[in-house]
């Protein structure tokens, strides 16, 4: 049965504060039975989650700016600029190879998995600054990587 049979009634309250059983929230076409599936489908919410390095730290990936982070061990000008690469390509390559190995060996942690599981009930978009693929490996399908 189609979710279009459920119509949102005008309300000043956000959708999340009104119970699914509330007659102010929805009315059911008299010819259709309201099922749990239909209610869940109707109640799907659009959720956007922003994540950064902190979510992957629990998976063993160092952050960049923590006191013991990556930039405490490497000079960003030497490994993250064309001039640094030109001056010392061996150090720059070692830096990126270490990062690739760390990401390949990391596994999604509980936070990654919970965000992926939210997709079973909601429309979830994850916007992350991370260069790892742990959200995708945890099962998230709508991940936007934003770096600047």
How many whole angstroms separate alpha carbon 132 and alpha carbon 100? Answer: 9
Catalytic residues, which ones?
Answer: 147
């Amino acid at each position: 049965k189609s979710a279009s049979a459920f119509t949102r009634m005008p309300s000043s309250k956000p959708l999340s504060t009104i119970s699914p059983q509330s007659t102010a929230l929805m009315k059911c076409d008299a010819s259709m039975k309201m099922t749990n599936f239909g209610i869940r489908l109707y109640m799907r919410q659009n959720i956007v989650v922003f994540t950064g390095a902190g979510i992957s730290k629990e998976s063993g990936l160092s952050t960049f700016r923590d006191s013991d982070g990556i930039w405490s061990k490497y000079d960003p000008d030497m490994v993250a600029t064309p001039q640094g690469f030109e001056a010392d390509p061996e150090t720059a390559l070692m830096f990126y190879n270490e990062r690739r190995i760390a990401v390949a060996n990391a596994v999604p942690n509980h936070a990654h998995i919970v965000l992926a599981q939210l997709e079973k009930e909601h429309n979830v978009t994850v916007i992350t600054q991370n260069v790892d693929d742990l959200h995708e490996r945890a099962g998230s399908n709508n991940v936007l990587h934003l770096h600047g």
